[in-house]
Structure 1
C-alpha cells in the first residue's frame, strides 16, 4: 500500500510557495517540507483541513493511493 502526497502539484497549480503556505496554515517549514517530499508518516485531519482551505482543494487532490 502506498499513499502519494501531491502537495507540490497543488502548490504549483495555486502558485503558492512553501513559505506562504506555512504562514497561512501556521505549520513549520520543516513539517510542510516533510509532507511535500513524502517523508511524513502521518497527517492530522486538522492539518489536512487547513491545507485544503489554503489551497482551495479537496483532500483527494493532495492524497493519492497507488498499489
Structure 2
C-alpha cells in the first residue's frame, strides 16, 4: 500500500490458489477469523503475530518466506 511505511508483501492469495483452498477453509483449519485473513490477503495488515504465521504455515505447508516477502520500492 503506498504511503503506509512498509514494504512487506503478503502472498496469501497465491498460496491459496496453489493449494486449491478457499479463505473459508483456511479460516476453519487455521482457527483464524475470515476478517483477519482478509486483512492479510488484501495487504492491509500492519503486523502479524508469530502464532498466526505459525498456524498459516502449518495449514498451508509452507515457510514464512513463502507467505511474506520484502519488496523495496513498493511502499
Unpaired runs of 5+ residues, structure 1, are: none
TM-score, normalised by the number of residues in structure 2? 0.86
Unpaired runs of 5+ residues, structure 2, are: 1-5
- Return structure 1 stretches of 4+ with deviation > 3 angstroms: none
Matches of 1:58 and 1:3 in 2, distance apart?
Answer: 15
CA-atom RMSD in angstroms: 0.7
Structure showing greater radius of gyration is 2
1:53 aligns with 2:67: no
Of the candidates 8, 12, 18, which is equivalent to residue 13 of structure 1?
18
Aligned to 2:9: 4
The aligned length equals 67
TM-score, normalised by the number of residues in structure 1? 0.96
Greater helix fraction, Structure 1 or Structure 2: 1
1:29 Cα offset (Å) = 0.6
